[in-house]
Amino acid sequence: MRKLKQYRLTVAWILVLTGILHVDAWARTNRELFPTRKTSRILARELHYLKARSEYDYPIPVIVRVRSASLLDASQLSRREPARRLSSIGSYATRLTAADLASLMQSEHVEYVALDPVVRARNDVQARKKPEQESANSFLRSMGVDLAWKAGYDGRKITVAVFDSGISPHPDLGGPGRIRASVDFSRPAYSPGLPADERFLDRYGHGTHVAGIIGGSGRSSKGEWRGVAPEVQFVNVKVLDHEGKGTASRLIEAMEWVISNRDAYDIRIANLSLGHPPVESYQNDPLCQAAAAMMDAGIVTVVSAGNIGKTPDGTRIWGGIVSPGISPEVITTGAVNTKGTATHSDDVSTSYGSRGPTVDALFKPDVSAPANLITSLQVPHSYLATNYPDLRVGDHYLTLSGSSMATAFASGVAALLLDANDDLSPDLVKLILLVTAVRLDQPHMLEQGNGLVNAATGVDVASNLKVKKQSLKRTVEPSWLLDGERVWAGGAFAVVDRVVYTPLVALPGFWGDGTVWSSVLRPVDYSDWLSELLGPNSVIWADSVIWADSVIWADSVIWADNIVVSDSVIWADSVIWADSVIWADSVIWADDGFQSGYLEDDM
């Protein structure tokens, strides 16, 4: 009996050791074929799975970053179809099988391989409730836009490039002169056969809605549904199809076009109310690299935080900021529910809006704006107007919710800042938006960012800022009255893992005394929060932030023989933040092969 037990124990240990060696060999082979220094863990695991099952080894859309275009010709990348060069990020977009990629990744000229995922509009069309507010004025007044108008700023001379599903003619956008140019980078499958003058139209209905929030005149509603900067002009950059979908590579091509044509159309702002779930660090994410290139080219780049805020059962998700919103350079905008009132005492976070931090443990979103039940321009017969008739408001307007809408509000306020001071760089626009944002009492800082965008104080700072001397011409009051409620600018902002604050406040509460800004902005450790800065109950609001050390962060996805990566994302087991998520729904490589698209967001 003892010998039998010993024999069983020996066999058990042999099996365990065999299993360990097998797993180690699997991991070692995986590392050799698809090194994670050259791709994300998610893609590496998927590629290893597919290569081991050649019957499922279909071409995958990828973006390949190379060390030098002269060292690796595009023809070497794919025998199936021409690779498209993305010069701004030193990359090529193509479709390759796992076997092709296993060979390609051995090349010293290949730096990194990323997925070319589907990007989608960041709206939530599930809200069927009719708006309760009397008019759009409650949203605009909550941000002090009416005070900016009173000061004489309405966005004139400013051109905004709207990267979306297109912009269709609408009475609130006036004549064709307000749309200075239109280009089409949406999926080519939907473009052939369309008359030239229809290629740029908005068949989904999202881009026109966004444009109306940024700069609609309100003509069809006697001014009721007016945009933030009603005199801006637009460049219509169509990157999404009739279902609100596009691809990252096509979006990057559109970004490159806008950079090349910035001076021709005087493009100052780019609005990207779209994105895809984060798959890798912003340092390797192609969309983030392209967005940073736009900022470097002098274009204020305002992007959506996303709508990955809750699981299907309603559990809150932390860390669901989408790309390119995970980039530290862009202005990432989160979603706030203002409850249909202008005052801030009842403002709360939306349940669907993505929360920070990012996958790199960076502070995001940067700012927030109204996002719930926003009424703006309708495109008759578009996908949204047709499939969601209860969202229509009369013949000209449509009500949507989502961080897409918040992003458009922030872009409109950025246009007001540039109208107030044409010398502002993208970084200065971001600085002013952050330092003047209104801290809200209820949302967590990883939901509201530095606070709600504040056009009233923002244009006051912008119009009085002497850019070259980095100082203010005169003092700026950091608060204003809204229906009897005192609204304070926040006075602090976060950059990467540091908080920067300004003691420009000189009692009894004014900004600017001729002090050079660069001498008073200083980084502090995030344990050094100020208890009070601008007035009673106005504090830096990061006392409960969960940073990298205490955030649940796992570096493995739940993998099984029939589950690979998708984007219906259940981030972590209930809560906080991980790429230890159950990815399902959109890309399922099962025994019967490829089922759906790549990283399609169904939020």
Catalytic residues: 164, 206, 404
Residues 6+ apart with CB under 8 A from 84: 92, 93, 94, 249, 253
The residue type of 203 is R
- Phi first, then psi, for residue 207 (nearest 5°) are -65, -40
| Nearest C-alpha neighbor of 200 from the set 213, 217, 214, 181 | 181
Tokens of 590: 């099962």
Give the whole-angstrom CA distance, residue 39 versus residue 252: 19
Question: Side chain identity at 86, as an amino acid letter?
Answer: L
Residue 483: Cβ within 10 Å count: 10
Report d(CA 64, CA 91) in Å as an integer.
5
Burial call 284-306: b when 16+ CB within 10 Å, e when fewer: bbbbbbbbbbbbebebbbbbbbb
- Look up residue 76 and give its two tokens: 């070497």
Identify whether the C-beta of residue 308 lies closer than 8 Å to the C-beta of residue 354: yes
Q: What is the 3-state secondary structure (H, E, C) of 184-237?
A: ECCCHHHCCCCCHHHCCCCCCCHHHHHHHHHHCCCHHHCCCCCCCCCCCEEEEE
CA angle 515, 300, 352 (to 5 degrees): 105
Helix residue ranges, H only, 396-534:
403-420, 426-436, 445-448, 455-464, 517-520
> Is the separation of the CB atoms in 476 and 525 below 8 Å?
no
Contact between residue 302 and residue 410 where contact means Cβ atoms under 8 Å apart: yes
Q: Which amino acid is at 191?
A: S
Query: What CA–CA distance (Å, rounded) separates 40 from 583?
Result: 15
Tell me whether strands 159-164 and 233-238 are parallel, antiparallel or unpaired.
parallel
